Amino acid sequence: MFDEPLSPIARIPELRWLRNVIVERALTRGDYLLAGGARSDYYIDKFKLFADPHILRRIARMFAPVVSELSPDLIGGTELGGVIIATAVSQLTSLPMIVVRKQPKQFGAFAEEYVEGPFTHGQHVLLLEDVVTSGRELLAAKARLEELNLKVTPHAIISRGLAPVSSLIQFSLPRGEGGPRQN
């Protein structure tokens, strides 16, 4: 699995690094409509982070204390960005993973199902999401898994709002602060 998990104090440089890499690589300024319908003057393009394998691996390693504390049976990822981080965490921990779709699959052997991948009722799932503002989609995915009698702990990389979800980093900017401006 992972090496010895980092203490909260030891994690501070990693959290500073994550905030800095977000600002340097993934932050744009402008007027954006977010997935949940809210408007924001900044946007975090997480795919600019995930496209770099070194950054993705380092973010995945930041989940070591979470995995050690929770001892999940499975890593789950929400469609789409959560699947990328869940895959990386699954690879690092050797824990199997499942995918939770936003809409049920419309084709194939398991049409009308939201969950892809093997699981057993009663298993504990660490459900990962990339960026949450309200947490609505992540909590809906959690509810879908709980309907299948799975124990679910949701966790995000970045929380930019008041979502009742744990995250590696709480990221917010006062209007006009930080990062490049895009027009």
Tens digits of residue pLDDT in 119-174: 999 999 999 999 988 888 999 999 999 999 999 999 999 998 777 889 998 887 65
Which of 24-38, 66-80, 84-98, 103-117 shows the lowest per-residue confidence on average (mean pLDDT)? 103-117
Closest by CA to 75, choosing from 7, 164, 2, 19, is 2
DSSP per residue over 5-34, as a string?
PPPTTTTHHHHHHHHHHIIIIIEEEEEEE-
pLDDT at 183: 35
Residue 164: predicted pLDDT: 80
pLDDT at 67: 96
Looking at every residue in the chain, the average pLDDT score rounds to 86
Question: What's phi and psi for 157, nearest 5 deg?
Answer: -75, -50
Going from the C-alpha of 49 to that of each of 33, 70, 105, 108, the distances in angstroms are: 20, 26, 28, 32
Task: Say how many C-beta atoms besides its own lie within 10 A of residue 94's C-beta.
Answer: 8
Report the amino acid identity of residue 174.
Answer: P
pLDDT at 110: 59
Q: pLDDT by residue (tens digit) across 76-111? A: 999 889 999 999 999 999 999 999 998 876 666 555
Q: Which CATH architecture has domain 12-170?
A: 3-Layer(aba) Sandwich (3.40)
Domain locations in the chain as residue ranges: 12-170
